[in-house]
A and B are shown apart, each in its own frame.
Chain A
Amino acid sequence: MTAADIIVALAAVGTVVAVAAWRIKVRIDARERAKRGECTGCCDGCDCCCGRKKH
């Protein structure tokens, strides 16, 4: 296995872990906002309903 192969493997694993962590964070943040009675951002900042990424 070459150094380039190791970089590819690490990048692939890193991407999957980072996306999963980001999704979990989005859900936790939404739950916290819901507890405070704020917009839950359930649209995940898709911009189609209110146009604000930071609610």
Chain B
Amino acid sequence: MKRFALAGNPNSGKTTLFNALTGSTAHVGNWPGVTVDKREGVYKKGGEPVSIVDLPGIYSLSPYTPEEVISRNYILDERPDLVINIVDATNLERNLYLTTQIMEIDVPMVIALNMIDAVEKAGDKIDAATLEKKIGVPVVAISALKGEGIDKLMQRAADECAKERKGSTVLKGTALFHLINDVRISLEGKGVKAPLFHAVKLVELDEIEVKMHADCVKMVEEFKATFSDDTFGTDFEALVADGRYRYISENFTPALEKKNRDKESASDRADRVLTHKIWGIPIFLVILFAIFHLTFSENFLFLGAALGEDFDPLAGSEHWAGVLFGGGIYSPGVMIFNIWNDIILDFVFGGLSDLIAGAGLSGWATGLICDGIFGGLSAVLSFLPQILILFLFFSILEDSGYMARIAFILDRIFRRFGLSGRAFMPMIMGFGCSVPAMINTRTLADDKERTATVRVIPFFSCGAKLPILTAIAGAIVGQAGVGNADLITYSMYLLGIIVAIASVLIMRNTTMKGDVPPFIMELPAYHAPKFTGLMIHLWDKTKHFVKKAFTIILASTIVIWFLTNFGWDWRMVDEMDKSILASLGQFIQPLFTPLGFGSQLSKWGWVFAVAAITGLIAKEDVVGTFGTLAACLPIMLDTLVDVEVDGGVSAVTAMIANTGITVPALIAFIAFNMLTIPCFAAVATAKAELPSKKAFNMTILFWIVTSYVVAAMVYVIGSWWWTAFLFAAAAVIAGSFIVMHNKLLKGEKV
């Protein structure tokens, strides 16, 4: 099978083209650096299937970043049959810099002039035929997002890969060309493949080439001794770069006709506000709050006060009372949540429970299915709509290009404290899932910065932690009558972000010291997210959630039910506090006393300790465990909560009623679960991505200690507010000590 490699600048649309060609659903983000490793798919639409390899986005073939090394090695060593060089037509000059380097390799290539629709929309024009004539390789205008021009591109690629192509360079007019040619002839004599590319890199004194062809370095050094440029002196790398840009500017840029050359674009105008040095962060916080308000608020637009406590136009309806209104208007997220729970899940699990009850099974079998399995599954599945809605909003922020701006805004503030904006990109990805976020840290060149970033990624609450947040927030509002669900969830997300930033700052100024590498980031133009792209994101999330619910969560609920209903003698127990789970829970319960959900609770208080431990398997298991246990608890609420059909909020409500847990302890429980060791998949990824076993072990310890300390602080401050001053004083003293210690180490005056 023929192999075509996709190479291009970051955020030029390679992954979008890869998806369009292979029918895959690879993650596409509107920021540079989404792809950190190569991936393969198959294009089947043409006559013969073609393997498509998506390479990480790169600006050049110099070996400065891991992505550049991966792409360069692949093209040179793996010898694809053809390279499709994706060029962002809206940034022609910068993108063609890489093109001029790929052209020097002896490999057939085709240029895909992507985002041509955006160029036309701006009223500009690119003459693809002129460009093709100048470059000497086929140029096809496409729009990967809309799927336009792709068939033509693949047709040209198929024709081109049948031909042999020798490398060509745009450096012919430069003072270094003769030297390049001499080195090329020398390398060719030795049988080196792609000699022109290696010759140019050798003249640049590229560190990989110098090691590979040490004998040719003498030729370059001798020339260097007799040569000096007026501007660049003997910096040959700069001379080569200048030669490339000069050629691009003189020959290729004329192919572009710009309508409004100096007019500020809409993206630039938006950035003047959204990335403002003072208003940038407050605007980000407001956008984040708006998302949580739309998803979780039971008092949408704060209309409850105006509409009155009993406001519900559907109060007379059997099915719809309390679904869309309740003392105000529910936010769209809560409306969908209620419809899903009160109508759909109620119908499904209620119907199934009736069926099982009438099936003539023994009491234990009915209990296993209705209390154990249905209780656990319904508790977890009840949050699916809100997870999807929140994820939809995050996808919109990401696809529109706003997420990239957040890294830019944060870089400006935190760079001086040792944290670069490049590290914020994987952190923000952590809102979706910690696993790809940890893999994305490969874009960080410094090992210490990378380790510090991997450690804090789980603090950015992923979708799996959302059921814990939502269930407890809902129960706090419903049972304890405190606060708003949207404010509680929003605050907990912010707590995760603050703890992450504080942790990295402490690490980067103590055990993980290092220079902050420069962060050069291209801010992609804003564009409206594509509906199908968003739906693909949501479908992936749904599949993943449902798959997890009916495998790991299902198995966990069965095990939890067994441990809850059987004693150490393997006989069924009459009372749950004599079960295996109760004895294990009571054993570890005192550990959580400083966090507010330990020995101070009633005899059922061990359920919180058990739920926190089951969360280590998968975070959804915390609420699943509540669902299973709540169904078995002897004391139900006055309202007789039917946990099998009422979902996770009812399960936690039953927990509060049975254990007497306080609101600060519930918040501490959320904080502990958000910050502690993440799920198995994330732990395995951290192990693979961290540089050593020691770093991994320290990371596990870091997660345990941070979650314990922060949760304890939350509980103590929540219970005795004045202790906040003591913690603040301790933080100031510790911070001053670190600053003074670092100054002394540098030999500065304190």
Contact = CB atoms under 8 A, between A and B. Distances in A.
Contact of B558 (A4, A16, A30, A49): A16
A15 B558 contact: yes
Contacts of A43: 433, 435-436, 439, 681, 685
B33 interface: no
A5 B363 CA distance: 10
A51 B39 CA distance: 10
Given A19-B551, A19-B554, A51-B25, A44 B681 contact: yes
Contacts of A20: 555
A41 to B, nearest CB: 10
Nearest to B617: A23
B37 interface: yes
A27 B27 contact: no
A42 B361 CA distance: 41
B340 to A, nearest CB: 23
Contacts of A4: 359-361, 365
B218 interface: no
B19 interface: yes
Contacts of A48: 27, 432-433, 435-436, 540-541, 544
A9 interface: yes
Given A15-B554, A15-B555, A46 B361 contact: no
A29 to B, nearest CB: 12
Contacts of A1: 362
A24 to B, nearest CB: 12
Interface in A12-52: 12, 15-16, 19-20, 22-23, 27, 30, 34, 39-40, 42-44, 46-52
A30 B684 contact: yes
A13 to B, nearest CB: 8
A40 to B, nearest CB: 6
A46 B570 CA distance: 37
A52 B433 CA distance: 16
Contacts of B559: 16
Interface residues of A, number: 28
A45 to B, nearest CB: 9
Contacts of A50: 26-27, 39
Contacts of A47: 25, 540, 543-544
B621 to A, nearest CB: 12
A23 B552 contact: yes
Contacts of B680: 23
A39 B680 CA distance: 18
A35 B165 CA distance: 36
Interface in B639-691: 680-681, 684-685, 688
Contacts of A40: 688
B41 interface: yes
B153 interface: no
B234 interface: no
B504 to A, nearest CB: 22
Given A16-B558, A51-B19, A51-B24, A46 B41 contact: no
B638 to A, nearest CB: 33
A2 B26 contact: no
B368 A49 contact: no
A37 to B, nearest CB: 11
Most buried by A among B19, B360, B558: B558
B86 interface: no
Interface of B: 19, 24-27, 37, 39, 41, 359-362, 364-365, 368-369, 432-433, 435-436, 439, 540-541, 543-544, 551-552, 554-555, 558-559, 562, 680-681, 684-685, 688
27 contacts: A2-B361, A9-B365, A12-B368, A12-B562, A19-B551, A19-B552, A19-B554, A20-B555, A23-B680, A27-B684, A42-B439, A42-B684, A44-B681, A47-B25, A47-B543, A48-B432, A48-B435, A48-B540, A48-B544, A50-B27, A50-B39, A51-B19, A51-B24, A51-B26, A51-B27, A52-B26, A52-B41
10 closest cross-chain pairs (CB), A and B: A49-B436, A19-B555, A51-B26, A51-B25, A47-B540, A8-B365, A43-B435, A42-B685, A51-B24, A16-B555
Given A2-B360, A19-B555, A51-B540, 12 more contacts: A1-B362, A5-B362, A5-B365, A8-B365, A19-B551, A20-B555, A34-B688, A46-B433, A47-B25, A47-B540, A48-B541, A50-B26
